[in-house]
A and B are shown apart, each in its own frame.
Chain A
Amino acid sequence: MSAKILIVAEHDGKKLNPSTAKCVTCARTLAGAQVTVAVLAAEAAPVASQAAQLSGVDRVVTVENPANLHALAAVLAPQVVALAAPFDIVLGPSTTFGKDLMARVAGLLEAPQVSDIMAIESAGRFRRPIYAGNAILTVEKAGEGKVVGTVRIASFEAAASGNSAAPIEKSTVSVTLPTHTRFISVSAAKSDRPDLQTAARVVSGGRALGSADGFKILYSLADRMGAAVGASRAAVDAGYAPNEMQVGQTGKIISPELYVAVGISGAIQHLTGIKDARTIVAINKDGEAPIFEVADFGLVGDLFQIIPEIERLIS
């Protein structure tokens, strides 16, 4: 029997977030899966056509409603539930969007949720990290009924965007939407640097940078390398970097080709966020720092000398 999988698309009203293409790859690892992407939006057309071009997508359904202008979990969840009826597995990305929404969907369905899926072994069997990635747990659905899941996006490549397009169907769901939750604003520091979650190269700084000003040497190096900039929790807590830059168990889980940890000690909560980085470089003045245990290349020394020197060497 082939599993029917519904993926809830993440987008900003114009562009499909790359996390959705990773959910498609995850769903496709299940042989014979039928993959439908749901686009809930105020105006769905631009996002729906991007979703339809992803290879591995069989069908796109759209639900248009002015209330869907901003992604509010309480508003989206009943609509996802209405769409979910014919599906066996309902997936979203393990991003703040998906984590917020999918567990509410699971609650409404009273269905089990598997968080941070890193592998699908069968239609009812999944692998996921627990304890900040210090153990991997295999879980299996015990009864009949649906499973809800969030996909650990660092575990999957994005599905390619092809030239063929899957059919797009408009759906109307008749559910009353709550008005108890209202969007006020979102503030995002605009930067021209690559997105931390999808960047091929990331340079991250820790407490050792000492100030927001201290981070400037990292921005400068990152721009030279075409890299995104990340930070440890200590650096974010101290106000050296904004919260969206935090990498780790409670920040972003990333899988760049190259991760450069600068003045970061390597606490397990931080390492959880970079387990899937292809190559890790550690720069730290303490040769005993735990970051060196996971680093492919370690350099012991003062970052304030080393970082400008690297920048000089590559310019």
Chain B
Amino acid sequence: MKRILVGIKRVVDYNVRIRVRPDGSGVVTDGVKMSINPFDEIALEEALRIKERGGAEEVVVATVGPADCQQQLRTALAMGADRALHVQADGVLEPLTVARALLQLIEREQPLLVILGKQAIDDDNGQTGQVLAALWNRPQATYASKLELTGETARVTREVDAGLETLEIDLPAVITTDLRLNEPRYVKLPDIMKAKKKPLDTFTLAALGVEPRQQLKLVRFEPPPQRQKGIRVKDAAELVDALKKKGLL
């Protein structure tokens, strides 16, 4: 079966104002709104569109994390994914651990394509897709803004610093999404009900033979330095004067 595997990470919603705990042990997450990482919504949307065009038969979403992550898997099912896989894991999960777990799921599911986000907006690591592609020994096309499947290969347009780069890669492969790949659909109420009946399988890391390793200790969290409050100028002339005085014009 032609299958697409999509990574779903539960993160603090992008609208939440992040506050560092006073003791420096982390950021405040109690009672904070959690959502699917925006790049993962884009990944799922792309998978669904490929399926709707007949390029795939099944879209499977997967997450690695604590029990709460099932909320985001249900949302993904409501968006249109066919099945969900939850690898239960607590504590700090580094990209290598997540990638190892995803690799085990790949071995079970044999997907044609794996689509992840280019970065998770909480840790901003931007590593998991590349680490997974390395462990799997398959191609990676990161920062995708356009994706065309042509049988055994894919053409991917990537947003790079210079502009847009196009690669051709053999399948199976790992793609990571950029913002302009698509605009994710909204979830409709009846679909939320339907999603409750869709299959959601759970695994433990141990059952997959993955031992979580923490190779980086999180020593301290701090708020960023604040900028000094500036001044208001009344018109363009005053602005130009002020900038000239500072030698900026």
Tell me the dominant secondary structure on chain A's binding face.
Answer: mixed
Q: How close is A300's CB to chain B, nearest CB, in angstroms?
A: 7
Kindly report which residue of chain A lies nearest to residue B162, judged by CB atoms: A188
Q: How close is B245's CB to chain A, nearest CB, in angstroms?
A: 11
CA gap between A185 and B134 in the complex, in Å: 23
Contact present for B167 and A182 (CB under 8 Å)? yes
A11 sits at the interface (CB 8 A): no
Q: Which A residues touch B145, using CB under 8 A? A: 243
CA gap between A250 and B143 in the complex, in Å: 10
B27 sits at the interface (CB 8 A): yes
Contact present for B126 and A137 (CB under 8 Å)? no
Q: Which A residues touch B96, using CB under 8 A? A: 106-107, 110, 112
Contact present for B132 and A107 (CB under 8 Å)? yes
- Say whether, besides A113-B127, A181-B169, A314-B240, A298 and B217 are in contact (CB < 8 Å): no
B55 sits at the interface (CB 8 A): no
Q: Which A residues touch B232, using CB under 8 A? A: 292, 297-300
B209 sits at the interface (CB 8 A): no
Contact present for A187 and B163 (CB under 8 Å)? yes
Q: What is the interface size of chain B, counting residues whose CB is below 8 A from a CB of the partner?
A: 82
CA gap between A26 and B138 in the complex, in Å: 32
Interface with B: A45-53, A69-77, A158-166, which one?
A69-77
Kindly report which residue of chain A lies nearest to residue B38, judged by CB atoms: A250
- Say whether, besides A97-B161, A300-B232, A182 and B168 are in contact (CB < 8 Å): yes
Contact present for A136 and B223 (CB under 8 Å)? yes
B231 sits at the interface (CB 8 A): yes
Q: What is the interface size of chain A, counting residues whose CB is below 8 A from a CB of the partner?
A: 86
Partner of B162, one of A134, A186, A301: A186
Contact present for A131 and B215 (CB under 8 Å)? no
Kindly report which residue of chain B lies nearest to residue A121, judged by CB atoms: B219
Contact present for A100 and B143 (CB under 8 Å)? yes
Q: Which B residues touch A309, using CB under 8 A? A: 236-237
Q: How close is A302's CB to chain B, nearest CB, in angstroms?
A: 11
Tell me the dominant secondary structure on chain B's binding face.
Answer: mixed
B50 sits at the interface (CB 8 A): no
Partner of A103, one of B127, B139, B231: B127
Contact present for B243 and A258 (CB under 8 Å)? yes
CA gap between A269 and B143 in the complex, in Å: 17
B31 sits at the interface (CB 8 A): no
Partner of B231, one of A258, A297, A300: A297
Count, A-B residue pairs, CB within 8 A: 248
CA gap between A134 and B142 in the complex, in Å: 25
Q: Which B residues touch A275, using CB under 8 A? A: 224, 227
Q: Which of B1-39 contact A (CB under 8 A)?
A: 12, 14, 17-18, 20, 27
B155 sits at the interface (CB 8 A): yes
Kindly report which residue of chain B lies nearest to residue A283, judged by CB atoms: B239
B184 sits at the interface (CB 8 A): no
- Say whether, besides A103-B130, A257-B248, A237 and B180 are in contact (CB < 8 Å): yes
Q: Which A residues touch B133, using CB under 8 A? A: 74, 104, 107
A86 sits at the interface (CB 8 A): no
Kindly report which residue of chain B lies nearest to residue A105, judged by CB atoms: B134
Contact present for B178 and A250 (CB under 8 Å)? yes
Partner of A135, one of B20, B118, B166: B20
Q: Using an 8 Å CB-CB cutoff, how does the interface string of B214-249 with A read, 1 for contact, 0 for none? A: 111111111110011111111111011011001011
Q: How close is B103's CB to chain A, nearest CB, in angstroms?
A: 10
Known A-B contacts: A100-B143, A110-B96. Give 5 more (CB < 8 A): A96-B159, A139-B217, A187-B164, A243-B145, A298-B232
Pick 14 A–B contacts, CB within 8 A, sort by A.
A77-B134, A107-B134, A108-B134, A140-B217, A142-B215, A189-B163, A237-B179, A257-B248, A275-B227, A279-B246, A298-B230, A301-B235, A310-B236, A314-B240
B interface residues (Cβ-Cβ under 8 A, vs A) = 12, 14, 17-18, 20, 27, 94-96, 99, 118-119, 121-135, 137-143, 145, 155, 158-170, 173, 178-180, 214-224, 227-237, 239-240, 242-243, 246, 248-249
